[in-house]
Each structure stands twice: as C-alpha cells, then as structure tokens.
Structure 1
Amino acid sequence: MIKTIIFDLGGVLIDWDPQHLYKKIIPDKQKRDYFLENICTSDWNDCQDAGRPLAEGTQLLVDQYPEFKNEIQAFYGRWEEMLVGPIQSTVNILEAIHRGNNYSLYALTNWSHETFPVAQERYDFLQLFSDIVVSGVEKMKKPDPGFYNLLLEKHSLLPKQTLFIDDNLSNIKAAQALGLQTIHFKIDDNLEEQLRNSHSIIF
C-alpha cells in the first residue's frame, strides 16, 4: 500500500527548459542545439544543481569559450525566462491528492540553491509538500542513492510504501534499485490513470 508520494519538480510540475530562453538568443536551431549540447550542457548545469556556485560555473565556461561570453552569461543571468510556468495537468493532480489527505507528499529535485527561491516565490503549489529536498542545498543530486536516502531517512519513509514520479529515466532506475515504486513521467501520458489503475492511488 502506498503511503507516500514523492514528486520531481522540473519537467513534472514545472515547465523549465533552456530552449525557452535560447530560442530568443540563438534563433537558428542548428546553432542553438550546438550551443546547448556542447557548451552550456546538461552535465555543466548539473554541477550547479549539485551546489557549485552559479558565478563559478559561469566563469569556468567563459574562460573556455570567450567567444560565447554573452550567451553563457545569459544562462543564469536570464534564467527566469527558462521557467515558463506550471505543468497544470500535473499540478491539478497534486492538488487533488493533497485535498484527499490520504498520502504524505514530498518533492526531491535537482535544482540550484541559488535559483530555487525563485520557484518557491512564484509557485504557491510548492507549499503543498511536507518537505522539498533540494540538491543544491544538500550538495548531492539524483541519481545518487544517497540523495534519495536522505529524504527517506529524514522522514522515516519505507521504500516499498513510497511512489516516486520523475521524468528522467536514470532517476527512475536509481529509485527502483532502492525499492521504491515508480512512475516514469511523460508529458503525453495519462498520469491520473497510471496513479489510479497501476498504483491504486485514491484522490
């Protein structure tokens, strides 16, 4: 029986994507994709999510690619433009689960501690969670098993009674290895149906 549901945030509840910003800065798709796949990469951003200061990460790239200085500095200088709003269908489900009051609700997110306060101020639904564990604060991130265990142990959660929802397959596999039940979230899937039929979640 599921007693606890853990949500990822970016890509599940919040529409965050560097493309939202860089479509404005680099209109040419081929050049934009090159920039995001080779310079301001996901791996580079992950380091900031794991606690590296934004200024340090930015300067590291500027030193390597001075010809892209303006584009690199925009990543965090205009970071809020990557954050375009809630994924409302999922937020509606979160709110319904919260109203039902049958499950403990937590969030586990890879997010810089310097930018996360922006999301907290912008999105009231984040207050529905009993706790949000942020990678940049803890200096560890998914899919590190220690990051999951931090939340599980902090709140005495049993993995077999816990459902974890994330859009990243690597994060899902790490959760499964720890014994959590999981849903690999995809924006086009019917999350409500998966919750009700596959995991017997009542809301």
Structure 2
Amino acid sequence: MIDTVIFDIGKVLMGYSWEKYLHSIVGEDKIAYATLEQAIFLSPCWEEHDKGLMTEEEELWDFISNAPDYEPEIRAVYENLGQCTWPYDYADAWVKELKDKGLKVYALSNWPKHIYDQRRHVMTFLDQMDGCDMSYRTHSNKPDPEAFTGLFEHFGIDPEKAVFIDDNADNIEAAKKLGLHAIRFASYEQAKEELNQLL
C-alpha cells in the first residue's frame, strides 16, 4: 500500500527555463546568448553547484572561468538566477489533495542555495509537505543513490510504499533500483492519472 509521494520540483512543480531570462540580459545578441548559455546553463558547473559545496563567489568564478571576456554579463545573469523558475498553477492544490488523502508528501530535488534562497517565497507547496531534501543541504545530487537513501533515513520512508515523480529518466531509473515506485513526469494530467492508479 502506498503511503508516501516524493516529488522532484524543477519541471514537475515549478517551471524552469533560461531563454527569456537570458534574452533580458543580452537582448538579441546571438553570440553573447550562446556564449553565456554554454558558460552557465550548459556547463558541468551548473549541476556541480547543486551540491552546495561552494560559496556564491566561488560559483561565480566557476562560471566566469568558462568565458572570462563576459564577466560583467555573467555576474548580471547570476545575480537573479531565480528568475529562471516559477511555480506551476497546480502545484499547491496537488500537494494539498494528496495530504487530504492522508499521504505523506516530500520533495527531493537538485537545487543550488543561491536560487533556492531567491525563490523559496514562491514555493508555497513546500509549506504543506512533510519534509524536503535539497541537494545543496545534503551535498548529494540525484541520480546518486545517496540522495535517495538519505531522504529515506531522514524521514523514515519505506521505498516500497512510496512513489517518486520526476521528469528525468536517469533519476527514475535510479529510484526504481532502490525499490521505489516511479512515474516519469511528462505532464500534470499524465502524472496525476498514473499516480491515482497506484494509490
């Protein structure tokens, strides 16, 4: 019997896209756009920063080292990186619906502290949850098994009684190997229907 639902956040409960935000910094300069995209969002640094092992200044220099000639622009992008994320309209109601059914609800997500601090105030769905593990606190990113087992240990979760919802295929496979029921998120309607079939 399922008694727990574990959500990823990015692209599941919150939207994530850098295109519009990056254009707000560089306008229609295609070279600057492509350079900053590679230096920041598509850089291996991006996921590494999720682990919360660097200061903000160290993170900045990590990005700047990828395109030193664009230091002012990289600093401008980094200042308000939280603008790349926004809550989905259904997030609060979905979590509330699950809580009203008597389920435990948690979040397990890869987030850097810099962005989390900027966007926590709009992540109101977290206030209804029973707990969350953010990678910057645990220093472990999905799909690393430690990210999952850490959550189990923190909150006493039995993976065989839990459903994990994430948009990332690698994370879904890692979850299944640890005994979790898993739903790969493609849309709210699809994921909700698959979840309801398990409950």
Q: TM-score, normalised by structure 2?
A: 0.88
In the alignment, what sits opposite 2:100?
99
Q: Could you tell me how far apart the structure 1 residues matched to 2:24 and 2:150 are?
A: 39
Could you tell me whether the CA contact under 8 Å between 2:163 and 2:180 is conserved in 1? yes
In the alignment, what sits opposite 1:3?
3
Provide closer, same or farther for how the CA distance between residues 94 and 42 of structure 1 changes in structure 2, counting only shifts above 3 A. farther
2:61 equivalent to 1:86: no
How far is 1:81 from its partner? 1.8
User: Runs of 5+ in structure 1 lacking a partner?
Assistant: none
What SS class does the counterpart of residue 141 from structure 1 fall into?
Answer: coil
Q: Name whichever of 187-196 and 108-117 sits farther off.
A: 187-196
Q: Could you tell me how far apart the structure 2 residues matched to 1:58 and 1:48 are?
A: 10
Residue 55 of structure 2, aligned match among 48, 53, 56: 53
In the alignment, what sits opposite 1:69?
71
- CA offsets per residue over residues 29-85 of structure 1, 9 Å max, x none? 85434532x2112522111111122321211232342212123213320213212x3
What SS class does the counterpart of residue 108 from structure 1 fall into?
Answer: strand
Provide closer, same or farther for how the CA distance between residues 159 and 14 of structure 1 changes in structure 2, counting only shifts above 3 A. same
User: Runs of 5+ in structure 2 lacking a partner?
Assistant: none
2:176 equivalent to 1:169: no
Equivalences, count: 196
How far is 1:182 from its partner? 0.6
How far is 1:125 from its partner? 1.8
User: What amino acid is the match of 1:75?
Assistant: V
RMSD over aligned Cα atoms: 2.0
Provide closer, same or farther for how the CA distance between residues 42 and 103 of structure 1 changes in structure 2, counting only shifts above 3 A. farther
Q: Could you tell me how far apart the structure 1 residues matched to 2:172 and 2:29 are?
A: 30
Could you tell me whether the CA contact under 8 Å between 1:90 and 1:191 is conserved in 2? no
- CA offsets per residue over residues 125-184 of structure 1, 9 Å max, x none? 211111111101111111110011001112221111110011111111111111111111
What SS class does the counterpart of residue 190 from structure 1 fall into?
Answer: helix
Could you tell me whether the CA contact under 8 Å between 1:50 and 1:112 is conserved in 2? yes
User: What amino acid is the match of 1:15?
Assistant: G
Q: Could you tell me how far apart the structure 1 residues matched to 2:114 and 2:67 are?
A: 24
What SS class does the counterpart of residue 114 from structure 1 fall into?
Answer: helix
Q: Name whichever of 145-154 and 186-195 sits farther off.
A: 186-195
Q: Could you tell me how far apart the structure 1 residues matched to 2:114 and 2:188 are?
A: 31
Q: Could you tell me how far apart the structure 1 residues matched to 2:34 and 2:167 are?
A: 21
User: What amino acid is the match of 1:60?
Assistant: D
Show the 5 A alignment for 1:122-137: 122-137=122-137
In the alignment, what sits opposite 1:22?
22
Identity fraction in percent:
26
Q: Could you tell me how far apart the structure 2 residues matched to 1:129 and 1:175 are?
A: 20
Q: Could you tell me how far apart the structure 2 residues matched to 1:54 and 1:171 are?
A: 27
How far is 1:122 from its partner? 2.4
Q: Name whichever of 140-149 and 42-51 sits farther off.
A: 42-51
Q: TM-score, normalised by structure 1?
A: 0.86
Provide closer, same or farther for how the CA distance between residues 172 and 30 of structure 1 changes in structure 2, counting only shifts above 3 A. farther
What SS class does the counterpart of residue 115 from structure 1 fall into?
Answer: helix
